[in-house]
Amino acid sequence: MNFTDFKKALKKPANQIVFVGLGNKARGDDAAGLLFLDELKKRMEFRAANFIEAKTNPENYLERILELHPELVVFIDAANVGKAPGDMGWIDKDGLDTARISTHAFNITMVEEYLKTHQALEVKYFGIRPATTSVGHPVSDVVKGKIEMFFAI
């Protein structure tokens, strides 16, 4: 997976997308979703998109997301995807339990259901496999490097 594949999978104009970064900056690679979001903000292709750094509490941003009237919401988080640290990919809803996007106060599927109850929209999940989520560590070099490679042109 690379940036080109990522863009193709979205299938919506940038101004109809809300990207939501999840993670905890104090827990190593749990911050990978936030780092990925920061890199995504720099891309000209998404200058019209909306970005929300929800950290560990996406439920605090539900009304903000709905106010933006998106056609697509993309949650980005550290998750057990691929085989090696730094591997990235899309996670289908059925695979969320295995991927373990669950370091947050509410189950992410509850967040999705709330959004869909209030507005017709699509939700996608993008995960980055962590190397470590230990407290007090920065994002690992391997995860940071793979995120940089993902966006390299």
Domain containing 86 equals: 3-151
Q: Are 72 and 121 in contact (CB under 8 A)?
A: yes
| pTM: predicted TM-score of the whole model, two decimal places | 0.93
Instruction: Give the CATH number, domain containing residue 18.
Output: 3.40.50.1450
Counted domains in the chain: 1
Rounded Cα distance, 1 and 127, in Å: 11
Give the position of tokens 């890199």: 39
The per-residue DSSP string of 69-101 comes to: --SEEEEEEE---SSSTT-EEEE-GGGHHHHT-
Q: Are 86 and 129 in contact (CB under 8 A)?
A: yes
Q: What percent of the chain has pLDDT over 90?
A: 82
* pLDDT tens profile 1-52: 899 999 999 999 999 999 999 999 999 999 999 999 999 999 999 999 999 9
Please, which residues have CB within 8 angstroms of residue 104's CB and are 6 or more apart in sequence?
22, 56, 57, 58, 59
Rounded Cα distance, 75 and 126, in Å: 6
Question: Which pLDDT score is estimated for 124?
Answer: 97
Question: Which pLDDT score is estimated for 134?
Answer: 86
Question: Which pLDDT score is estimated for 15?
Answer: 97
Q: In the predicted model, is pLDDT for residue 99 greater than 80?
A: no
Number of H helices, E strands in the chain: 6, 5
